[in-house]
Chain A
C-alpha cells in the first residue's frame, strides 16, 4: 500500500521531470527551424554582388541590398548619436537620485517607453518629423529608433552604476575631486562595461525594427546618404521582398535576413564579451 504510494509519487516525479525537459526542448525547435531556414536560404544568395549592388527594377534578375545595408548602418548611427548621450546622462541622474519625484517620474517613463509598441512610435515620428519637414527621411527613422533605444540605455546605465560601491565615490570626493569629475572619471569608467553592453543591446534591439520605419525612413531603391531623404534599410527590404510574388525576391529576403541576424548576433556576442571581460570587480 505505502510502497505503491511511494512508487506513484516517484513515477509522478520522473514523469514531471521528463515533461519539463520535453517542453523546454520543444520550444527550441522553432529556433532551430528559423536559423536553419535563414542559413540554408540565406547563404545560397549571398555573394559579393548581393552585398555590393543596388536593387534592380521589378521582375529583372540580379541586384543586391547594398543600399539597405548602408541605410541600416546610418539609422543605427543616427539613433545612437541622438539617444546615447541623453540616455547615459539620465541613467546617471537616476543612479545619483534614488528617491525623489523627478527620479520616480523618469523611472515610470522609462518603463512605459520601453513597452510602447513600435508602430505607435512610428506614427509619432511621422507626425513630429515627416509631416512638418514635408518629406520622408532617414532622420525621422533615426529619431523613431532613438526613442526605442533610449529606455534600454537609461535602464542599463542606472543598473550598472547602482552596483558600484559607494566607498569608491566617497574616496574620490574625500580627495577633493569635484563631484562631476568623480562621476565622470571614477564612477563612469568603473561601469563602462555595463553601459557599453546596454548600448550594444539597445542597438541590437533596433537593428531589426521595421514598423517604425514604414512611415518614416520609407524605403529607397537607390543609394542615399542624405539624412533628409528617404533611405532603405534591411528590415524594410525583407518586408518588401517577403510580401512580393517573385521567388528571386523571396530568396533575397532570406539573404537580407541572414545578414540582419548575423549582425544582431554579433552585437549580442560583443555585448556579452564586454560584460564578461571588461567587468570591473569590486
Chain B
C-alpha cells in the first residue's frame, strides 16, 4: 500500500517469519539447557559430547559458576543447574518447589601456584588459610617453608587469586578452611561468594583462576584438580586430619568419600577423618525440579532430562575416571538413581 517502503517492510517480515519457521522446524531435535559449576565442566562437556553422538540429544551446558547455576534454576531459565555446593535453605525456599540434587562425581580442590622451577609443595592448613587471608605475603614465609624442607622458596610476593563469581569450588574450599582455621572462621567463613581480604585478584570460573595463575609468576589459586593437570600446573599436597601430607589424586579423593551418604546426598567430605584421604574434596551435583511440569515445559523435554540423568549416574560414569574425577561409589550411585526415579511430570514418575 505504501509502495517500496511497505515492500521493504514486508519482505523483512517474510525474512523474520522464515527465521521463525526454520526455528520451529529445527525445534524438533531436542536440546536441553544447563548452566552452573565450572568445577565439573570438563567432565560434563565430554559426557554431553558423547551423549549427543549416541542419542542425538544436544545438551548445552554453560559454566557460569555454581551461584549462577542455582539462580538460573530458580528463575527457571535452564532445565538443570550444576553446583558443588548444596542449595541453602533460603535458596530452596526461593525456588518455590522441591529441588533434587543428584551427585555426578567427586573432585578435589587443589592449591595451584606458579613459581620458578615449579617445585612440589606441601601445605599445612594454616599455610593455606594464611595465604588466602593475606597474612602470608611472601613465598619464603616460614609457615610455608617449615613444611617444605629441602625446597628453596623464592623471596617473591604471593599474589592470591580467588573466584569473582559465586562458586561451589569456593564453597568447598572455604568450608574446609572454616573447619581447620579459627581465624578464617571468624573473619571470612564459608560460602559461594565471600568477603575476601582487600587487594586480592578475582577471576571468573575455574578456567579464569587457572588461566591467571598460569600466566602470573608468584600467583596462587584454588581450582579443581583436572584444570591443574590439563595445564601442567603444579599443585600442593595438603596436611589432613591424620597429620599426613596427601597429594590430591583420584584415590585420595575416593578415600575421603568413603562415608555414609544420606538420602538427599547432602554430605560434606572436607577435613576427612580417613588417613589417606585428601582433605579438600567434595561432590558436585546436578540440580533440577522434582516436579517437571512447570512454566509450560513439554513432557518430552522432561523425559529427555530424566533419561540423561539416569545415564549420567549409570553408563556415563565411565567418562569420570579418565578425566581424573572420582566416580560415584555404588551406594552414592544407587541413591542418585533413586532420586532421579522420584522425578515426576504432573505427578507421574518419569522413569519407569
Contacts and interface: CB of A to CB of B under 8 A. Distances in A.
Contact of A185 (B4, B23, B48, B207): B4
Interface in B1-39: 2-5, 8-9, 12, 15-16, 19-20, 22-24, 26-27, 31, 33, 35
Given A57-B49, A222-B58, A228-B27, A245 B214 contact: yes
Contacts of A84: 12
A104 interface: no
Nearest to B61: A221
Nearest to B323: A59
A243 B48 CA distance: 22
A224 B15 CA distance: 18
Contacts of B61: 221
B204 A59 contact: no
A46 B27 CA distance: 31
Indicate the size class of the contact surface on chain A: 35 or more
Find the residue from B23, B42, B231 having the highest chain A CB count within 10 A: B23
Q: Interface size class for chain B? A: 35 or more
B-side interface mostly: helix
Given A85-B8, A226-B26, A246 B45 contact: no
Given A77-B15, A226-B23, A227-B20, A57 B42 contact: yes
B295 interface: yes
A257 to B, nearest CB: 17
A59 B230 CA distance: 7
B45 A58 contact: yes
Interface in A238-273: 243-246
17 contacts: A59-B46, A59-B323, A81-B15, A136-B77, A184-B2, A219-B62, A221-B45, A222-B60, A228-B23, A229-B27, A229-B33, A243-B204, A244-B208, A244-B210, A245-B233, A246-B230, A246-B231
A66 interface: no
Nearest to B319: A57
A181 B6 CA distance: 11
Interface string B189-218: 000000000000001110110110110000
Nearest to A231: B60
A230 B33 contact: yes
B23 A184 contact: no
A210 to B, nearest CB: 13
B241 interface: no
A243 B211 contact: yes
